[in-house]
Amino acid sequence: MRNKPASALRRRRTLLAKKLFALAPRILRGSLLERYKRCAKPGCKCADGPGHGPKYYLSITYPGRRPEHDYLPQAYHEQVSLYLQNLRAVREFLEEICSINRELLRRREKL
């Protein structure tokens, strides 16, 4: 990054900002939990196997609070997984934007 001209850094920052804007409506904080449950009905196949499932839950933890778990229907699993991945990408984009801004400041260039 230190060898790139300031104009190239600004172009990269603009591209990252556009990617951030595009992902913004499709991000979600948390993690997915996969659970298998036993129903306790006599003769049910779950008694000898891992249980019924998988059942998915979205787990979200806030500082100073207990984790919150929301049941996630199977039909939403793929979409929610993508939204969680998008949050990781957004964080990476933000880190790169911060690095670009720091480099521009270090050079005493216009932000």
φ, ψ for residue 48 (rounded to 5)? -100, -10
Does residue 31 have a pLDDT over 90? yes
What pLDDT was estimated at residue 39? 87
| β-sheet bridge partners, residue 31 | 59
Kindly report the average pLDDT of the chain as a whole number: 94
Looking at per-residue pLDDT, the higher value among 12 and 1 belongs to 12
Q: What is the pTM of this model?
A: 0.81
What 8-state DSSP symbol labels residue 33?
E
| β-sheet bridge partners, residue 71 | 57
Q: Please choose, from the candidates 17, 13, 21, the residue with its C-alpha nearest in 3D space to the C-alpha of residue 110.
A: 13
d(CA 4, CA 106): 13
